[in-house]
């Protein structure tokens, strides 16, 4: 097949990424003749990758851990949502010398919550975590008009800094204060704790009328999902968000919007099989 443009997901490590599979499905669906690879680039090599390395041959890229902040500093133009998130997950090549950075994580999450028909407007919401992923989802969540949005983090100073940036709409707190925070309609787990030791969360945060969404998926989401199910809440993992943010990136690059639903179904089936 003649390829019109090359794209990649760039991270460190990146071998585990599902993005090549997702974008191959999108390309098949839309008939776009594109190639999409996973490229491991350590942080210290990221700028040269774009200036003098293989990045020069890419029409765009997804950027994942730990490069999202570096990508923000590298690009020549930033979308409003990437500037607000201080993180870039999508790079679009404008011409030979100029790159634009965008962030599709937040819209990806909100579209997946809409798919699930989980309400945001007028609801009491909690986001756990204050890293790159949390920063990317705050504005799209606030735009849906929640009654309140609390952000809880292990290091409270980071939650406080975010609240200062987003204004009084955001209520910061420490993870250790959550026992006194009451019940939430929606709890979004956006920390990286599931990749390591997991989190100890109070049972009072959610009940049978709440929904709980983990941005991680698979093994990393297991602890949070188990906690949420014990509280009687509805639960979902971040696979849907991953597919939705990828669809938005694909649209930014190609001007064609793929259908995320069949790709999400396929990946969910494969994930379920791999956990059998």
Question: CA angle 230-232-218, nearest 5°?
Answer: 60
Stretch of 42-50, 236-244, 254-262, 263-271 lying at the interface with ligand NAP (CB under 6 A): 236-244
Q: Least distance from C-beta 160 to ligand NAP, angstroms?
A: 11
Q: Least distance from C-beta 232 to ligand NAP, angstroms?
A: 24
Closest CA to 97 of 64, 75, 79: 75
Residues in Cβ contact with 129 at an 8 Å cutoff, skipping those fewer than 6 apart: 152, 153, 189, 190, 191, 192, 193, 215
Closest CA to 56 of 96, 10, 2: 96
> Residues 204-233 vs ligand NAP: string with x where CB under 6 A?
-----------xx---x-------------
Taking the least distance from each CB to ligand NAP, the nearer of 53 and 69 is 69
Identify whether the C-beta of residue 153 lies closer than 8 Å to the C-beta of residue 129: yes
68 is catalytic: yes
Stretch of 22-30, 154-162, 179-187, 268-276 lying at the interface with ligand NAP (CB under 6 A): 154-162
Q: Least distance from C-beta 262 to ligand NAP, angstroms?
A: 18
> Residues 99-138 vs ligand NAP: string with x where CB under 6 A?
------x--x--------------------xxxxxx----
Distance CA 215, CA 252 (A): 22
Identify whether the C-beta of residue 78 lies closer than 8 Å to the C-beta of residue 47: no
Residues 66-95 that bind ligand NAP (CB under 6 A): none
Cis peptide before 13 (omega within 30 of 0): yes
Taking the least distance from each CB to ligand NAP, the nearer of 27 and 199 is 199
Distance CA 136, CA 130 (A): 10
Residues lying near ligand NAP in the complex (CB under 6 A): 65, 105, 108, 129-134, 153-155, 158, 190-197, 199, 215-216, 220, 238, 241-242, 245
């Amino acid at each position: 097949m003649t390829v019109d443009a090359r794209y990649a997901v760039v991270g460190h490590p990146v071998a585990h990424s599902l993005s090549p599979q997702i974008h191959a499905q999108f390309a098949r669906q839309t008939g776009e003749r594109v190639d999409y690879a996973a490229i491991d680039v350590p942080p210290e090599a990221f700028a040269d990758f774009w200036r003098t390395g293989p990045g020069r041959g890419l029409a765009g890229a997804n950027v994942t851990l730990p490069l999202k902040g570096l990508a923000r500093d590298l690009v020549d133009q930033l979308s409003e949502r990437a500037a607000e998130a201080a993180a870039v997950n999508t790079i679009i090549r404008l011409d030979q010398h100029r790159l634009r950075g965008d962030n599709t994580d937040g819209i990806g999450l909100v579209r997946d919550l809409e798919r699930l028909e989980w309400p945001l407007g007028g609801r009491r919401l909690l986001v756990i975590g204050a890293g790159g992923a949390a920063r990317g989802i705050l504005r799209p969540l606030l735009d849906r008009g929640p009654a309140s949005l609390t952000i809880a983090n292990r290091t409270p100073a980071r939650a406080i800094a975010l609240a200062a940036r987003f204004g009084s709409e955001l209520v910061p707190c420490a993870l250790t204060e959550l026992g006194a925070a009451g019940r939430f309609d929606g709890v979004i787990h956006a920390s990286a704790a599931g990749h390591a030791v997991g989190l100890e969360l109070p049972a009072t945060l959610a009940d049978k009328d709440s929904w709980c969404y983990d941005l991680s998926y698979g093994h990393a989401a297991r602890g949070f999902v188990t906690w949420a199910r014990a509280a009687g809440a509805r639960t979902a993992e971040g696979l849907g968000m991953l597919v939705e943010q990828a669809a938005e990136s694909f649209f930014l690059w190609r001007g064609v919007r793929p259908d995320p639903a069949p790709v999400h179904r396929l990946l969910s089936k494969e994930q379920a099989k791999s956990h059998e």
